[in-house]
Chain A
């Protein structure tokens, strides 16, 4: 059982070019970069509320390590929650997540322990309907087989980005965390969230 701290650590995984950094940047800074710039920054932070205290949401980007499981394990061991990103336009990128998922499963112990860890499978670039290779239903089925949650997002159109992080924190049952410290009006109650989460 990891000790309670003022940091909540989210680790983001995915193959190169699926839009990990875009998602994180969109969330942290509200920006989106059209042209692909490989990640140089490694860790981002955002202030959130946790058990009615201020706490830091720390987002660790693992770009570049996805073929090197032993090194990846070092990022995983400290993570509280995980986001596994693929691109809806690349089946390959979904398939490349499977070994990462297995590393998480191994590192985080048995099935019971794993069930309590917030993990979200995310199909990014859902705005690119013409190049789509993976349907939402397929993504959801994959998530179900891994026993984790699923969402489609677009960092470009800002679709479901904030919702992704809100939902991920919602899944954390050990403490009561939320994005409530955010600027007002960004989250309009849980109902809207649920709706968006189900949009396929």
Chain B
């Protein structure tokens, strides 16, 4: 069969739709042929150079593959429409001598991008020194982040009904399914039955969507958008360790959010905290001094708090105000930022803060520069960064990295009952 003969077989529905059928496959191919493969070959079996090939191209990987994966469902429905077994596809397959049909090859890039991380993990087993191991770990982290972002970006394309512009909400940080209860002081509406919501956390906003499964494609119907600049976070809710709360206007409106697992909750709480901390950093300045002046008064109120979890919910959150009905709700949103302002003040007042500390709660490192620690781990403070981040070394190990200062307590301190600032306490002790 000649080229012309095959051309005659092209179904009408396919004409001019090569870009939908193949997506950016060609771009992916060129990237590998002209850049990635050449780089790999140039490594000449030096593992640390191989690692670098991945690390320095992580943005390209993300861009190419998220585009490819997002297009794939469109390609699939196009093929479904014209039939996988039409004469044109079959004669192409025969002519090219392909053992598998087109669909199998179109799925390959998606299978392949998930495998780089496995190969890197395997390379880690054969590392020859510490430096190589670090480079490989970094490359592995990069590829896992790429996968997570590609994965998340595919959920995002299914959001319907959002009037604003998603690209203006900043980077998509997390997405996942939760049970959500809503309480409002205004209408006294209390729902016993939770709503099932799919949440998308962006740098600037959090979106609540309702998932609707229509045939094979899930869509996320937009319901609610909270600006990150307006929300407060409560990390622990009594009675269920998988719950946390987001609230507006000093708890006028409260969203109680229940994760499916403890890990899911922890990663969301960590990420939300991080976003709020970043906002705080931008806001600091004159306001900090005002807050600190108020802080002394509020500390007395909070030190009465006897919730057992209070030791691990201090950095951004107030304690659950429902357990202190006498507490002014305005105060909770105010002092929610006070810890970090305090450590920030210490940082600038030049006091030395070095010494031994104890981890108050488990902290899961996010990214390469941070370090994970378990509750009760002894650590050594090496330096104080900004926005409440401290650089520490875990006692008895080589691990060093950044952790939120609020997770640390000076090892000289006896009580961990109150939720006052760790750093101010620490400076008392070092005097």
The answer to the question of A39 belonging to the interface, with a C-beta cut-off of 8 Å to chain B, is yes
Which residues in chain A, 54-112, are within 8 Å of chain B measured between CB atoms? 56, 58, 60-65, 67-71, 74-75, 77-78, 106-109
- 1/0 per residue B80-115: CB within 8 Å of A? 100111000000000000011101100110111011
Give the chain A neighbours of B394 by CB distance below 8 A: none
- 1/0 per residue B389-421: CB within 8 Å of A? 000000000000000000000000000000000
Q: Are B148 and A38 in contact (CB under 8 A)?
A: no
Q: Is the interface of B mostly helix, strand, loop or mixed?
A: helix
Q: Are A71 and B115 in contact (CB under 8 A)?
A: no
Give the chain A neighbours of B84 by CB distance below 8 A: 3, 5, 7
Cα distance, A61 to B100, chains bound together (Å): 14
Closest to B104 in A: A43
Q: Are A42 and B150 in contact (CB under 8 A)?
A: no
The answer to whether residues A74 and B216 also contact, given A3-B83, A43-B100, A64-B115 and a CB cut-off of 8 A, is no
The answer to whether residues A60 and B107 also contact, given A68-B147, A107-B216 and a CB cut-off of 8 A, is yes
Partner of B85, one of A3, A16, A109: A3
Interface size band for B: 35 or more
Cα distance, A108 to B76, chains bound together (Å): 15
Cα distance, A62 to B114, chains bound together (Å): 9
Interface size band for A: 20 to 34
Residue among A5, A56, A58, A74 having the largest count of chain B Cβ atoms under 10 Å: A74
Q: Are B216 and A77 in contact (CB under 8 A)?
A: yes
The answer to whether residues A71 and B69 also contact, given A38-B118, A64-B117 and a CB cut-off of 8 A, is yes
The answer to whether residues A71 and B118 also contact, given A5-B85, A43-B104, A109-B215 and a CB cut-off of 8 A, is no
Give the chain B neighbours of A56 by CB distance below 8 A: 100
Taking the nearest CB of chain B, how far is it from the CB of A58, in angstroms? 6
Cα distance, A67 to B213, chains bound together (Å): 21
Which residues in chain B, 219-241, are within 8 Å of chain A measured between CB atoms? none
Give the chain A neighbours of B103 by CB distance below 8 A: 78
The answer to the question of A190 belonging to the interface, with a C-beta cut-off of 8 Å to chain B, is no
Give the chain B neighbours of A67 by CB distance below 8 A: 147
The answer to the question of B73 belonging to the interface, with a C-beta cut-off of 8 Å to chain A, is yes
Give the chain B neighbours of A109 by CB distance below 8 A: 213, 215-216
The answer to the question of B298 belonging to the interface, with a C-beta cut-off of 8 Å to chain A, is no
Give the chain A neighbours of B85 by CB distance below 8 A: 3, 5-6
Partner of B114, one of A45, A71, A108: A71
Cα distance, A68 to B112, chains bound together (Å): 13
The answer to the question of A137 belonging to the interface, with a C-beta cut-off of 8 Å to chain B, is no
The answer to the question of A115 belonging to the interface, with a C-beta cut-off of 8 Å to chain B, is no
Give the chain B neighbours of A3 by CB distance below 8 A: 80, 83-85
Partner of A74, one of B80, B110, B121: B110
Give the chain B neighbours of A38 by CB distance below 8 A: 115, 118-119, 121-122
The answer to the question of B243 belonging to the interface, with a C-beta cut-off of 8 Å to chain A, is no
The answer to the question of B356 belonging to the interface, with a C-beta cut-off of 8 Å to chain A, is no
Partner of B148, one of A6, A39, A68, A107: A68
The answer to the question of A198 belonging to the interface, with a C-beta cut-off of 8 Å to chain B, is no
Taking the nearest CB of chain A, how far is it from the CB of B396, in angstroms? 27
Partner of B76, one of A61, A70, A71, A78: A78
The answer to the question of B24 belonging to the interface, with a C-beta cut-off of 8 Å to chain A, is no
The answer to the question of B133 belonging to the interface, with a C-beta cut-off of 8 Å to chain A, is no
Cα distance, A6 to B93, chains bound together (Å): 13
The answer to whether residues A75 and B218 also contact, given A3-B84, A38-B115 and a CB cut-off of 8 A, is no
The answer to the question of A40 belonging to the interface, with a C-beta cut-off of 8 Å to chain B, is yes
The answer to the question of B324 belonging to the interface, with a C-beta cut-off of 8 Å to chain A, is no
Cα distance, A107 to B216, chains bound together (Å): 5
Give the chain A neighbours of B107 by CB distance below 8 A: 42-43, 60, 74-75, 78
Taking the nearest CB of chain A, how far is it from the CB of B175, in angstroms? 9
13 A-B pairs with CB atoms under 8 Å apart are A5-B84, A7-B84, A38-B115, A38-B119, A38-B122, A60-B104, A60-B111, A62-B111, A62-B114, A63-B114, A65-B114, A68-B148, A71-B147
A residues lining the B interface (CB < 8 Å): 3, 5-7, 16, 38-40, 42-43, 45, 56, 58, 60-65, 67-71, 74-75, 77-78, 106-109
- Supplied contacts A64-B114, A71-B147, A75-B110, 16 more A-B pairs, CB within 8 Å: A38-B115, A38-B121, A40-B119, A42-B108, A43-B111, A63-B118, A64-B111, A64-B115, A65-B111, A65-B114, A67-B147, A70-B154, A70-B155, A71-B69, A71-B110, A74-B107
